[in-house]
Structure 1
Amino acid sequence: MSSQGIGPEPNLSDSKALVTVIGEALVDIIEGPRQGNAAPETHPGGSPLNVAVGCARLGLHTKLVTHFAEDAYGQLIAKHLANNGVEPIVGGSQPTSTALATLDDTGAARYTFAISWDINGASIPALAAAEGSRHVHTGSIATVLPPGSKSVMGLLEGARRHATISFDPNCRPAISPDKAAARKQAEDFVAASDIVKASDEDLLWLYPDRTLEESMNAWLALGPALVALTRGANGPVLLSRSGRVDITGERVEVADTVGAGDSFMSALISGLRQLDALGAAGRARLQEITQDQLHVLARYANKAAGITCSRPGANPPGLADLGPLANPSFLLEG
């Protein structure tokens, strides 16, 4: 299945989405050792877009509040979203954003951005989508780059009564080099969220004087029910008020790591949906999540990230690849 693979058909007859993702859509231009003298590859990307596609491929009715233009790159994004059953809500007026991803010999990516973030003109349908969803996810550049970053927090505030909230800072120092400001913005979004996910690189950049464990505990104290940490090949850590789960990474042949963290996030949302732990009605279950549930969620999301690492580009798994959460009926009794 390629990164343009066909996903579930969009259910446009239903104006409400189960999941609304808010954030940037862009085109990844990938170059590195594996390209040799060939032309760079182009793939639709952006962390929020990848999460939206990942959620839709896992059977969740998903909308994406974003920006892209009616240019060649924007048409590539629009086709990708349509093929994967993601309904876009598009604002802003600038050209479609791009990210040049340069891969090293291990497949790890470093990015150079040409990006703008503004959803002006889409505020009414965006708020309707956020307020009508069971879960709202945001993160990455959309939460730090003005003018759109202020709109994102407003949408979360509007959604909070009806939806659970998740956040992934996906820090980009090239976009937000003011570390103190980025830290403050991240903490504001953490405090507004039920579920937060970060990579070890994110936390070490934001808090160079803390251990990862200290940073996770500090975020948990800000109010979320669940804090997830990804550590690449070392595997994830999930932390809640019931305790901590630490598992090893998936053993896969890595094509590249593009989009792996986003696939982890999508699978985590899907797993929590299968545990009936999303939405206002599921918030109490999320806050009481057990160690057994954390362990199964960690394995499920970790498997999704591993599948993505085995494929070129941001190409998250579908239900046929990942299957359902293990023993959900047993876990629902927890």
Structure 2
Amino acid sequence: MARPGSPGSVDVLGECVADIFEDHDRSDPDGLVLRALPGGGPANTAVALARLGTPTRFLGRLSDDAFGALFRARLRASGVDLRASVTASEPSTLAVADLDASGQAAYTFYADGAADWQWTDSELASTRNDEAVCLHTGSLALVRRPGGGRIEDHLARVRRHATVSIDPNVRPLLVAPSAYRERLPHWCAVADILRLSEDDCALLAPDTRLDEACDTWHEAGARLVVITLGKNGALASLDGTRVTVTAPPVTVVDTVGAGDSFTAGLLHRLAALGHLGGRLDTLTLDDAADACSFAAHAAALTCSVPGANPPWKQGTALRSASSST
């Protein structure tokens, strides 16, 4: 378990995705000009964690194509350790984003046969890191086959020495919500932390109150369930005892990567408070609320700039979100 004030190291396992946006200023009737930005929920989380000052390893299958080079450059520039990542011959995953007037993004994915889903047991075994206090995963890499099932097995082994955090990050255009619902009890059985958005909950537990959904996931094994509520903050449920934290006001440019920054802020703060490295046995509801407040601030800062561009520890506004980082 990490000592209070010492963030410990966190491993993040999952996909990199190239987020493709239209460059409206350069497009015309003769041609559509697109811009590719490095993204993907797990990769965004790793970047945000490293920028906050948490020693972070990214466990990914990075293609040897041009997008893979883009991913590596961004991760390394943010201070992420890539030594446990795999160089893969399969193509990178692409997501073409369409932003609405409020900055919300809808995606069209190009993912069949991509590198991210092809994990082998031997590749996962080679990522073992007994020094990490937490392994965070989720999103598409955990639900898509063939790699998803192997990652589930890997989590069961990792939790012997580390806290396990999962963000389902439901993508109904790529994987039917029923597939997530089928696997969610298995994920809760190995997860100490389950982080979801309100939209995820609507797909995973339709027609169910958030408190009832939390209790279901607690019964399945997850000790801490955190549901982000957009501008309304976040709900934290620790073994069935709940608290809601507010989100700071922000002028939203877009919401790309905000949830991933929230997850990073949550894990960073829990590590700094000394709660990661086991089954959250020392975690109190007050500390869970503190971590969620810090995370909400990190997410708000991400919403204030274009794309998945999480804040750095040196940011004055972020330092003021908490007395200690």
Same fold (TM over 0.5): yes
Aligned twin of 1:159: 158
- Matching residue of 2:124: 123
Quick one: structure 1 residues 209 and 67, their matched pair in 2 at CA, closer, same or farther if it must change by over 3 Å? same
Q: CA deviation at 1:300?
A: 0.4
Q: For residues 283 and 163 of structure 2, what CA distance do their matches in structure 1 show?
A: 14
Separation (CA, whole Å) in 2 of partners of 1:146 and 1:214: 30
State the distance in 1 between where 2:48 and 2:305 align: 14
Task: Flag structure 1 segments of 5+ consecutive residues without an equivalent.
Answer: 1-16, 330-334
* Structure 2 unmatched ranges of 5 or more: 1-7
Matched, 1:29 2:20: yes
* Bigger mean CA offset, 187-196 vs 105-114: 187-196
- Structure 2 residue aligned with 1:3: none
1:35 and 1:149, CA in 2 relative to 1: closer, same or farther beyond 3 A? farther
Per the alignment, residue 3 of structure 2 pairs with: none
Alignment of 1:96 onto 2:95: no
Partner of 1:317: 311
Partner in structure 2 of residue 9 of structure 1: none
Instruction: Quickly say closer, same or farther: Cα 1:312–1:328, change in 2 above 3 A.
Output: closer
Name the structure 2 match of 1:269.
267
> Residue 114 of structure 1: CA displacement?
1.1
Relative CO higher for 1 or 2, CA cutoff 8 Å, sep ≥ 6?
2
Q: Is the 8 A contact 1:297 1:325 kept in 2?
A: no
Secondary structure (helix, strand or coil) at the match of 2:102 reads coil
Question: What root-mean-square deviation, in Å, do the aligned CA atoms of Structure 1 and Structure 2 show?
Answer: 2.1
1:54 to 48, 52, 55: 48
Relative to structure 1, the CA distance from residue 287 to residue 35 in structure 2 (aligned partners, 3 Å threshold; closer, same or farther) is: farther
Map residues 210-221 of structure 1 onto 2, 5 A cutoff: 210-221=208-219
| More deviation, 224-233/287-296 | 287-296
Deviations 1:273-295 (A, max 9, x none): 11100113xx3xx2342232122
The answer on 1:176 being equivalent to 2:167 is: no
Alignment match, 1:14:
none
TM norm structure 2: 0.88
Count residues with an aligned counterpart: 306
Report % sequence identity.
38
Secondary structure of 1:255's partner?
coil
TM-score by length of 1: 0.86
> Match of 1:149?
148
Amino acid at match of 2:249: R
**Who is 2:200 aligned against?**
202
Aligned mates of 2:228, 2:145 — CA distance in 1: 27
What is aligned with 2:228?
230
Contact in 2 for aligned 1:200/1:231 (Cα 8 Å): yes
Q: Give runs of aligned pairs for residues 217-296 of structure 1, distance below 5 A.
A: 217-241=215-239, 243-280=241-278, 283=279, 286-296=280-290
Q: Aligned letter for 1:277? A: H
Does the 8 Å contact 1:107/1:254 carry over to 2?
A: yes
Once the two structures are TM-superposed, the CA of residue 24 in structure 1 deviates from its matched residue by 0.6
Q: 1:112 aligns with which of 98, 104, 108?
A: 108
- Aligned-partner Cα distance in 2 for 1:33–1:214: 44
